[in-house]
């Protein structure tokens, strides 16, 4: 069985393999790789079976994008879209991958689109549909 990853096309590196430059501009740590600000997922913890337990997306070294916690079976447990220290939207899932509660929008969808532009995701319209 493979792990279900949020944005699987994005690079993932364990935090110990990155250079931590202290507190980031928004929240969390600022990470660099090979003398440049890191863009990708920073992996913090693994389950005993080797699946990722917790990871956080960074853009140009800063916390920006998805913060994801996974169930031991590899399914997404909780995902929160972060715009720096601001939680934009969050979703919780059961171990089968079903939405466990209604998604919570903390800020207007314009914040989502701002994060989308920074991270390379598709933007959405006011109803939550992707702009194509």
Q: Which segments in the chain show pLDDT lower than 50? A: 132
pTM of the model: 0.87
Q: Are the C-beta atoms of 119 and 65 separated by less than 8 Å?
A: yes
Question: Looking at residue 108, what is its pLDDT?
Answer: 76
C-alpha 31: how far from chain center: 15
How many residues are recorded in the chain?
132
Question: Looking at residue 132, what is its pLDDT?
Answer: 47
Give how far Cα 88 sits from Cα of 42, 83, 93, 98, Å. 19, 7, 17, 20
Question: Looking at residue 128, what is its pLDDT?
Answer: 61
Residue 111: enclosing H or E segment and its boundaries? helix 109-119
Residue 12: enclosing H or E segment and its boundaries? strand 12-14
Adjacency order of strands within the sheet including 29-33: 19-23, 29-33, 36-37
Backbone phi and psi for residue 11, each to the nearest 5 degrees, phi listed first: -60, 145
């Amino acid at each position: 069985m493979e792990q279900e990853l949020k944005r699987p096309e994005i690079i993932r590196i364990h935090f110990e393999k990155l250079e931590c430059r202290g507190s980031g501009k928004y929240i969390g740590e600022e990470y660099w790789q090979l003398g440049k600000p890191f863009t990708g997922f920073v992996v913090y913890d693994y389950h005993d079976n080797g699946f990722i337990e917790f990871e956080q997306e960074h853009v140009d070294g800063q916390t920006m994008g998805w913060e994801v916690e996974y169930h031991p079976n590899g399914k997404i447990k909780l995902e929160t879209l972060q715009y720096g220290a601001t939680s934009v939207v969050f979703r919780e899932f059961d171990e089968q991958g079903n939405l466990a509660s209604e998604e919570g929008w903390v800020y207007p969808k314009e914040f989502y689109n701002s994060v989308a532009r920074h991270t390379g995701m598709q933007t959405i319209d006011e109803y939550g549909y992707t702009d194509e």
